[in-house]
Structure 1
Amino acid sequence: MKWTELSIYTTNEAIEPISNILHEAGASGVVIEDQQDLFTERDDEFGEIYELNPEDYPEEGVRLKAYLPVNSFLGETVSEIKQAINNLLLYNIDIGLNKITLSEVNEEDWATAWKKYYKPVKISERITITPTWEDYQPVSSDELIIELDPGMAFGTGTHPTTVLSIQALERLIKAEDVVLDVGCGSGVLSIASILLGAEKVYAYDLDDVAVQSTKLNVKVNKVSDYVTVKQNNLLDHITIQPNIIVANILAEIILRFERDAYRLLQPGGMFITSGIIQAKRQQVESGLEAAGFEIMEVNQMEDWISIIAKKPEESR
């Protein structure tokens, strides 16, 4: 079979929504090549090893690569992808150059082309994320391993927004906590929550591809008994009262359900939000405070912001 490599030149802000668009279009894996990665000074406190080849990165901005089968519907699929990306402008998302190129690759090249980008990465004090094909052995007795298949998931779980979310969960989760994962994507935050001691996780996503990815990954990581996965629009019609709500999605989406999050959380509960670019930080903070939350922490990794907000013990 022949495959087409679709390269999209865009911005850091557009990585998450364009990745979702590509997965919805049937892409098998999405590669993120961010030129800024070559110049980022990285803290190696968790033992990460970075081996970056400048030849793999664009001269500026971000390049996303996805692989689509060559068939009679390819032209229509590419047109739909272009239109969906252009529609991001309606949400004030900067899509940058938005240059799209196509090239043909052989089956054997496609099968290995994107795997070279994915290696085990220790992203917090206790959690290491590894692709399913790597034979990774823990280096300490308290290390927690999450296995992900990027061919089915929304990335590898090592994007700064995901790392910030997991580091917050690691600090906040207590035994017997109930967690809502809103916009679950690959399910990595749901899996992490159970491994860190939560009693139950409810994972929701409007995208059926994400729902199936989460179901697959919770099964691979043997936590299916503790994670309920459902297709749902944010927190619509949800009545569960959790201790923690985590949402690693765009700022614009967070501001659509912050009042629902406040309503559902138990007094003293925490709302972890990520996926926020620096320019949207104040907007999200103001929305959370207007809903009744107290801002407890604001954390940053590269250009991304994570906010931890608390519902007061005596909520209004």
Structure 2
Amino acid sequence: MKWSEFKIHTTNEAIEPVSNILHEAGASGVVIEDRNDLDKDWSTMYGTIYELDPENYPEEGVYIKAYLPVNSFLGETVEEIKQAINNLETFDIDIGHNKVTISEINEEEWATAWKKYYKPVKISDKITITPTWEDYQPVSSDEIIIELDPGMAFGTGTHPTTVLSLQALERYIQTGDSVMDVGSGSGVLSIGAILLGAADVQAFDLDEVAVKSTTINVKLNKVQDRVTTRQNDLLKDIDVQADVIVSNILAEIIVKTTQEAYQLIKPGGYFITSGIINAKKELVKQDLEKQGFNIVETNQMEDWISIIAQKPE
């Protein structure tokens, strides 16, 4: 079978929504080539992910690559993708150059093209994320290993927004907590919450592909008895409470959930938000405070912000 590599030159801000569009169009995986990765001093972080070739990266912004089967519907699919990406501007999302390049590759190249970018990486004091095909051995007795199959996932767990979320979960999860993961994507935050001591997680995502991806990865990590996956529009019609709600989605979507989150979080509980660009930080903070939350932490990694808010006792 022939496959088409669909490459978009866009911005960091657009990574999550563009990836979502590609998955909804039938992409079986995405590769993100971020120019900022070339400038990181990996020795000051938790570990090297892989060797980087500058030739693969744009001068600015990011390349997002997806792989679609070559068939009679490909032309129509490509046009739908382009239109959906263009529509992101109506949500005040910067799509940058928005240059699209399409090339044909064979099945063997498609099957391995994105795997070479994904190696085990330690993303916090305790947590290491590894792909299922890597034989990774823990280096300490308290190390938490999350295995992911990113073939259908929304990212590989190493994007700054996900790292910030996992690091916050590591600080605030208490043994026996009940957790909600709003916009679960690959399920990495749901898995992390359980492995950090949560008693149960309810994982919600509107996208059917994301729900399937969460379900697969939850089973891979043998926590399916404590994680419930469900297709749902954010927190609508949810009537149970949680100790912690974590939401790694766009700032514009977060502010649509704050009122419901305040009602659903138990007194003293935490709302962990991520996926926020620096320009939208005050928007989210003001909305959280308006609902009655107290801001307890604001953290930044590259251009991304995570805000942790607490419901008063």
Q: Is the 8 A contact 2:47 2:122 kept in 1?
A: yes
Note the 1:263-278 alignment, pairs <5 A. Answer: 263-278=263-278
Quote the sequence identity (%): 72
Shift of 1:44: 3.2
With the length of structure 1 as denominator, give the TM-score of the two structures: 0.97
With the length of structure 2 as denominator, give the TM-score of the two structures: 0.98
Alignment partner, residue 300 of structure 2: 300
Letter of the 1:241 partner, please give it: Q
SS of structure 2 residue aligned to 1:8: strand
Alignment partner, residue 228 of structure 1: 228
Question: Is residue 129 of structure 1 aligned with residue 129 of structure 2?
Answer: yes
Shift of 1:49: 4.5
Per-residue displacement from partner, 1:184-223 (whole Å, max 9, x unpaired)?
0010000000000000000000101000000000001100
Distance in 1 between the 2:42 and 2:282 partners?
26
Note the 1:104-183 alignment, pairs <5 A. Answer: 104-183=104-183
Q: Is the 8 A contact 2:200 2:227 kept in 1?
A: yes
Distance in 2 between the 1:263 and 1:142 partners?
35
Shift of 1:51: 2.0
Distance in 2 between the 1:37 and 1:309 partners?
29
Letter of the 2:99 partner, please give it: K
SS of structure 2 residue aligned to 1:83: helix
Distance in 2 between the 1:187 and 1:163 partners?
13
SS of structure 2 residue aligned to 1:267: strand
Per-residue displacement from partner, 1:225-278 (whole Å, max 9, x unpaired)?
000000000110101110000000000000001010001110000000000000
Alignment partner, residue 240 of structure 1: 240
Distance in 1 between the 2:293 and 2:219 partners?
34
Note the 1:50-65 alignment, pairs <5 A. Answer: 50-65=50-65
Alignment partner, residue 200 of structure 1: 200
Matched residues, number? 313
Alignment partner, residue 13 of structure 1: 13
Letter of the 2:262 partner, please give it: Y
Shift of 1:50: 4.5
Alignment partner, residue 102 of structure 1: 102
Alignment partner, residue 70 of structure 2: 70
Alignment partner, residue 93 of structure 1: 93
Distance in 2 between the 1:60 and 1:246 partners?
31
Shift of 1:152: 1.4
Shift of 1:43: 5.5
Distance in 2 between the 1:45 and 1:280 partners?
26
Q: Is the 8 A contact 2:49 2:119 kept in 1?
A: no
- Between stretches 205-214 and 34-43, larger displacement belongs to 34-43
Shift of 1:46: 2.3
Per-residue displacement from partner, 1:55-107 (whole Å, max 9, x unpaired)?
11112211101110001110111111011101101100000110101000011
